[in-house]
Structure 1
C-alpha cells in the first residue's frame, strides 16, 4: 500500500471522512459519517465530462483543473481553518482517482496526514455487497409476523427498548411496506443507501443473541431486500401476533391518522389497487377518503384486502410459520404493546432451533 493511502478496513482510524464526489453522487450513497466537499459540483462535473467526450481529454483536464482548484480553495477557507496539525482525514472519490488525489495532495502540502481511500467509493460498495451476502447466515433471526395492524413495528420498538437486538427494515427503508406505507414528507433512500445502512446495522449484531425482525415481503416500497437476507429470514423461527380485528383497526386508525390530511394523495395510493379490486369497491373506498371516513375505509381494507392477502402469503413465504409461537392480544395500546414484547422475550428459547 502506497504512502498516503488507506483501505476500507481502516475507515475507523481517521478523524474525518471526506467525500469529494458531486452532491448527486453523495446523495445516491456514501460512506456513513462522511461529509461532502465536492471538488466539482453536479453542473461542473457534467460540463467537464461533455468536454472530455466531445473535445479532448486534455481540454477537459485543463478546465476541470481550474474548477477543482477554485473549489479546493473554498473548502480550505470554509472548513479546515480550525483543524489542528494532528488532524487525520480520509478522502475518497468514485474510484480513488484524480478528484480525491488532488484533494489529498493539497491537504498533505499544508501538513495534515491526509490519506486517499484505495479504490474509492467503488471499493466500499463492493465490501458492502460482499458483506450482505455473508452476514445474514451468521445471525439468529426471530420473525415477528401477524396480520396488518398487529403493531409489529411498535413491538420491535418495545423489544429494542427492552435491550433486544432488533432489525427495523421498514425504518431503514422509510416506508411501512403496504400500498399506504409511504411516509408523509419522507423520501425513501436509494437502493445503495438502503444497503449501506442495512450493512451498518447488521455489523453491530452479536451472532450469539436473537435478532428480532418483522416478516416482510421482498420489496418495501421501492427498495428490495438482499436475497441472502430474505432466504435467512424465510427459514427462521416465527412469532405470530394474534391481535383481535377490533384492536387492529383501532391501532391502524391511530398509526395512519395522517392519511386523512391529504385526500388526493390517499386516493392516489388507493388507486394502485385497481388491478386487484373491482371498480365499484375502489370507487367506494375513494369516496370514504374524500369524506375523511377512515374508520369505514380501514375496516373494509382489513376485511377485503389485507387479511385475505395475509392468509394467502404468510405460510408460503415463511416455511416455519406453521410452527410459530403465538401471542394473543386484544390490546394494542402502548402498554399492551410492551406486554406483547415481554411475552415474546419470555417465550424466546435461548438458542434458535437448528435450521
Structure 2
C-alpha cells in the first residue's frame, strides 16, 4: 500500500481520525513534548541517536547511515512484534519524527508494506508545533470566557473542579501546568511540563471546547510557575466577564492549610519556599515568618501572608489587568467545603453565569 502524507495544518484538524499517533523520535525528544495521545516508538533510542550523531560528525554520513539503518531495523522489528501483530488490516496510524521524515519514514515504509494505510506528517513535529502555535491565537478568541476571580485561598481551584464535575467547560491552567501559580505554588515531587508541552496541553484543551457554551478559567497571570500562558489566550481571558469568589479570611486560611498540607507536614520545606519572598518583604519579615513556622504557628504565618502580601498584590493585579473586574459578579459559597463549591457550581451552570 502506498504511503500517504498530510500537512501539519491538516493534521491539527484530523488528529482524532487516526487510530494511533506514533512518535518515532527518541525518548528524550518525546518527553519534551509530543502530539496529544501519541505513543513513543523510537526508531533510534537516546543512546543510539547520540552514537549515530557522533559517528556522522567524526567519520562520515555513509558509515553513520549504515550503522543507523541496522539499529533502526532492529528497533522497528521490536515495535512491530510488540504492538502491531494484533492490529486489524484497517488500522490507520499517523507517524512523525523531528523534521526530515527519515525515522518515521523507515517505520512507515515497513508498516505500509505490511498492508496498513500509513500517513506521515510533512515536516514532522517541528511543522506541527509551528502550526499549533498559530492555531492558539485563532482558537482563543472564539470562546465566551468566564473568569473566576478571588483572593488567594478563596477556593478558585475547588470551584473550577466543581464546575467541571457539573458539566461545565473548564480550562484549568494550574492543572495543566502542575503548579498552583504563586511563589509558594510548586507541588513537591511533581515536575512542571516544558513550555512546549504546556502549549500543546492548552491547544488540546481549546480544540475540544464548544464555542456555543461558556468556558470557565481562573484569573491567572502571564506565568504559571515556570511556564508562560500564550499571549493570545491571556488577552482573550482578560477581556471576559469576571466572577468574584468571596470567602471569609478564616475559611481562606483553613482552605490553604488543607490544600498545602505538605507544608504543614514539612515546616522546613515551607521555610525554604518563604526565602523566595525575601527580596519583596525583607529579610527581617521572612525570618520572623520562618521562626513562627518552626515554633508551630503556621496558621498565623498563612494569615499574615494572605493579608499583607497576597491580597494587596492580587487586587492591584486584577484592577490593572482584567477589564471587567470592576463590574464582577460576587459569588459566595456557604463555606470552603467541596460540597459547598459543588452547590455553587450547580447554581452557576443553571443560571448560565
User: Which TM-score band applies after superposition, normalised by the shorter structure?
Assistant: over 0.9
- How far does the alpha carbon of each residue in 1:262-289 deviate from its partner, in whole angstroms, 9 at most, with x for none? 3333222111111101212111222233
Q: Which runs of 5+ in 2 are unaligned?
A: none
Count how many residue pairs are aligned between Structure 1 and Structure 2.
348
Partner of 1:325: 329
Instruction: Verify: 1:62 aligned to 2:96, yes or no.
Output: no
Partner of 2:20: 16
Alpha-carbon distance between aligned partners in 2 of 1:82 and 1:11, rounded to the nearest angstrom:
22
Partner of 1:315: 319
- Whether the 8 Å contact between 1:49 and 1:60 is mirrored in structure 2 is yes
> Which of 287, 290, 310 is the equivalent residue of 2:291?
287
Partner of 1:146: 150
Instruction: Verify: 1:101 aligned to 2:122, yes or no.
Output: no
Q: Pick closer, same or farther for the CA change 1:141–1:10 going to 2, 3 Å.
A: closer
> Which of 68, 85, 93 is the equivalent residue of 1:81?
85
Partner of 1:335: 339
Instruction: Verify: 1:31 aligned to 2:38, yes or no.
Output: no
Q: Pick closer, same or farther for the CA change 1:74–1:291 going to 2, 3 Å.
A: farther
TM-score for both structures, normalised by structure 1:
0.92
Alpha-carbon distance between aligned partners in 2 of 1:313 and 1:88, rounded to the nearest angstrom:
49
Give the alignment's Cα RMSD to 1 decimal.
Answer: 1.8
Q: 1:295 Cα deviation (Å)?
A: 0.9
Q: 1:32 Cα deviation (Å)?
A: 1.1
Q: 1:346 Cα deviation (Å)?
A: 5.5
Instruction: Verify: 1:221 aligned to 2:262, yes or no.
Output: no
Instruction: Verify: 1:5 aligned to 2:5, yes or no.
Output: yes
Q: 1:337 Cα deviation (Å)?
A: 1.7
Instruction: Verify: 1:240 aligned to 2:244, yes or no.
Output: yes
Alpha-carbon distance between aligned partners in 2 of 1:143 and 1:278, rounded to the nearest angstrom:
33
Partner of 1:128: 132
Partner of 1:179: 183
Partner of 1:45: 49
- How far does the alpha carbon of each residue in 1:61-84 deviate from its partner, in whole angstroms, 9 at most, with x for none? 122112112211222222222223
Instruction: Verify: 1:164 aligned to 2:199, yes or no.
Output: no
Helix, strand or coil: the match of 1:184? coil
Partner of 1:231: 235
Instruction: Verify: 1:259 aligned to 2:263, yes or no.
Output: yes
TM-score for both structures, normalised by structure 2:
0.93
Alpha-carbon distance between aligned partners in 2 of 1:319 and 1:113, rounded to the nearest angstrom:
50
- Whether the 8 Å contact between 1:175 and 1:181 is mirrored in structure 2 is yes
Partner of 2:195: 191
- How far does the alpha carbon of each residue in 1:43-99 deviate from its partner, in whole angstroms, 9 at most, with x for none? 111222222233322222122112112211222222222223332222210125111
Q: 1:330 Cα deviation (Å)?
A: 6.0
> Which 10-residue stretch deviates more, 272-281 or 109-118?
109-118
Q: Pick closer, same or farther for the CA change 1:283–1:10 going to 2, 3 Å.
A: same
